């Protein structure tokens, strides 16, 4: 068996999209003769908790949990928030925020690099050193965000000269929340320095999209998009409904909005003179001033329930963060949306990675946030077909982005660094 040491901050019971990529890989890596040990946090600053995911961690995976200092309690005390989780996906403060919260955001943007989760590195590094002294491994993998995790791999590379692979689920210095919140010049330089060193020293850098790969510094790179576990989706049937169901599942981070769609839907509802349309927002707590009688709000839901919601809809909404460089974004949500066979309306760059993926699999359209005419035309097309009793489902082959297929490619990449 080949042996892999994976270092990741986010791991069950952490929920949300950051967990899904490697949770899927772990399921299928044994098919390629990989034995995996995971070093992760004991109780980190997680944006979501999903205890059901703990049961999805394969029994053959050895999980080592380390102490995890957090900023959650400090953020709670200074910001006055009841929620102890520190911000995720946004570093912008508002005029109504407390002075304590504003101070923490300023410090994060001007004094901390690469990210606040770096306080875990000391504990993770010590645990990884001990593990590598006791057990031989073929390769170490670090996955980010948080990109501070890659600095652990960098030190292990220098100490043990072991093959090291990074996994980039998002950009580093050009990640959306640093751009939209306007990080300080010193922090920008520090991030560029860190990412340049990491990319150059790693034996291989796996990146989720070609566009993000181009944004990163020079280094040995390979493309491996996100995907979905088709076996999980196949277990959940699609049921028809007397309502035309439009859904968004997830939270809105900085640079995302559903406001233009809600306004377009208001026009559509008035034109149709119908009450058989519903919009369900799961995980999004922004209450819109429009269409109150048509919108339902649901809290964060376990992953299995989220898949059920994706499957049982007639339209799924996918807002891409609006910022310079967003063309490379390929979220976990996009691939699971595709796996649900439900049509997708994506808001983002029409020449971006997400738009390319939708065109390739014939699973939806992409338009700008402000293009109300395209939104209305797509709604009309799907709604008319639904009224006629036609199945509103996608049926193209998704084998290339299924987890089994992608894990085979991951095996090829990992094996290349030590053969």
Give the whole-angstrom CA distance, residue 354 versus residue 256. Answer: 15
Distances (CA, A) of 262 to 103, 195, 337, 368: 34, 39, 20, 14
- β-pair type (344-347, 364-367): parallel
Q: What is the pLDDT of residues 231-259, one digit of tens each?
A: 999 999 999 999 999 999 988 877 788 88
Is 155's pLDDT higher than 70?
A: yes
Is 306's pLDDT higher than 90?
A: yes
Judge if 76 and 131 occupy the same domain.
yes
Give the whole-angstrom CA distance, residue 260 versus residue 371. Answer: 9
Is 93's pLDDT higher than 60?
A: no
Q: Quick one: pLDDT at residue 249? A: 93
Angle, CA 257 vertex, CA 254 and CA 263 arms, to 5°:
165
Q: What is the pLDDT of residues 313-347, one digit of tens each?
A: 999 999 988 766 677 778 889 999 999 999 999 99
Distances (CA, A) of 244 to 31, 46, 295, 314, 374: 41, 34, 12, 6, 19
Q: Quick one: pLDDT at residue 219? A: 97
Judge if 296 and 188 occupy the same domain.
no
* Longest CA–CA separation in the chain, Å: 70
**Percent of the chain residues topping a pLDDT of 70:** 86
Judge if 180 and 248 occupy the same domain.
no
Judge if 174 and 299 occupy the same domain.
no
CATH code for position 69: 3.40.50.2000
Confidence of residue 82 (pLDDT cuts 50, 70, 90): very low
Is 227's pLDDT higher than 80?
A: yes
Judge if 142 and 254 occupy the same domain.
no
What total of structural domains would you count in the chain?
Answer: 2
End-to-end CA distance of the chain: 14
- For residue 239, the enclosing domain spans 230-399
Judge if 247 and 378 occupy the same domain.
yes
Q: Quick one: pLDDT at residue 181? A: 64
Judge if 387 and 309 occupy the same domain.
yes
Judge if 103 and 200 occupy the same domain.
yes
Judge if 49 and 99 occupy the same domain.
yes
Q: Quick one: pLDDT at residue 75? A: 52
Q: Quick one: pLDDT at residue 69? A: 80
Judge if 221 and 322 occupy the same domain.
no
Is 78's pLDDT higher than 80?
A: no
Judge if 178 and 262 occupy the same domain.
no
Residue from 13, 36, 9 nearest 25 by CA: 36
Looking at the DSSP bridge assignments, the partners of residue 6 are: 38, 141
Judge if 164 and 243 occupy the same domain.
no
Write a three-state SS string for the chain.
CEEEEEECCCCCCECCHHHHHHHHHHHHHHHHCEEEEEEEECCCCCCCECHHHHHHCCCCCEEEEECCCCCHHHHHHHHCCCCCCCCCCCCCCCCCCCHHHHHHHHHHHHHCCCCHHHHHHHHHHHHHHHHHHHCCCCEEEEEECCCCHHHHHHHHHHHHCCCEEEEECCCCCCCHHHHHCCCCHHHHHHHHHHHHHHHHHCCEEEECCHHHHHHCCCCCEEECCCCECHHHHHCCCCCCCCCEEEEEECCCCCCCCCHHHHHHHHHHHHHHCCCCEEEEEECCCCCCCCCCCCEEEECCCCHHHHHHHHHCCCEEEEECCCCCCHHHCCCHHHHHHHHCCCCEEEECCCCCHHHHHHHHHCCEEEECCCCHHHHHHHHHHHHHHHHCCCCCCCCCCCHHHEHHHHHHHHHHHHHHCCC
pTM confidence score: 0.88
Contact 152/15 with Cβ under 8 angstroms?
A: no
> Which whole number is the average pLDDT over 377-403?
93
The per-residue pLDDT of the chain, averaged, comes to 88
What are residue 186's phi and psi, to 5 degrees? -65, -40
> Which whole number is the average pLDDT over 195-213?
96
Angle, CA 249 vertex, CA 243 and CA 253 arms, to 5°:
140
């Amino acid at each position: 068996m080949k042996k892999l040491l994976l270092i990741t901050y986010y791991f069950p019971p952490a929920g949300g999209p950051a967990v899904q990529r490697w949770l899927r890989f772990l399921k299928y890596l044994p098919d390629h003769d990989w034995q995996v040990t995971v070093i992760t946090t004991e109780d980190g600053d997680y944006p979501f908790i999903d205890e059901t995911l703990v049961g999805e961690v394969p029994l053959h995976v050895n999980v080592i949990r380390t102490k995890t200092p957090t900023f959650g309690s400090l953020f709670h005390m200074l910001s006055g928030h009841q929620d102890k989780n520190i911000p995720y996906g946004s570093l912008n403060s508002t005029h109504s925020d407390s002075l304590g919260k504003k101070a923490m955001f300023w410090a994060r943007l001007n004094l901390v690099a690469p990210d606040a989760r770096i306080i875990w590195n000391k504990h993770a590094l010590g645990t990884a050193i001990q593990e590598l002294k006791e057990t031989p491994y073929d390769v170490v993998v670090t996955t980010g965000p948080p990109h501070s995790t890659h600095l652990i791999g960098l030190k292990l590379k220098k100490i043990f000269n072991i093959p090291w692979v990074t996994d980039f689920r998002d950009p580093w210095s050009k990640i959306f929340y640093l751009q939209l919140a306007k990080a300080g010049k010193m922090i920008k330089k520090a991030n560029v320095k860190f990412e340049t060193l990491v990319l150059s020293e790693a034996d291989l850098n796996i990146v989720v999209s070609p566009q993000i790969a181009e944004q990163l510094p020079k280094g040995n790179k390979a493309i491996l998009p996100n995907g979905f576990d088709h076996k999980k989706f196949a277990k959940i049937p699609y049921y028809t409904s007397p309502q035309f169901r439009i859904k968004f599942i997830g939270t809105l981070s900085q640079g995302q909005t559903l406001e233009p769609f809600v306004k377009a839907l208001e026009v559509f509802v008035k034109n149709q003179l119908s009450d058989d349309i519903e919009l369900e927002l799961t995980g999004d707590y922004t209450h819109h001033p429009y269409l109150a009688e048509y919108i339902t709000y649901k809290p964060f839901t376990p992953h299995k329930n989220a898949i059920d919601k994706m499957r049982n809809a007639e339209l799924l909404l996918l807002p891409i963060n609006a910022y310079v460089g967003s063309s490379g974004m390929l979220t976990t949500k996009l691939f699971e949306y595709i796996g649900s066979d439900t049509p997708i309306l994506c808001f983002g760059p029409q020449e971006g990675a997400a738009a390319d993926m939708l065109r390739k699999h014939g699973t939806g359209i992409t338009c700008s946030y402000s293009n109300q005419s395209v939104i209305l035309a797509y709604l009309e097309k799907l709604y008319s077909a639904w009224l006629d009793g036609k199945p509103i489902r996608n049926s193209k082959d998704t084998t290339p982005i299924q987890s089994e297929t992608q894990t085979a490619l991951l095996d090829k990449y990992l094996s290349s660094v030590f053969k």
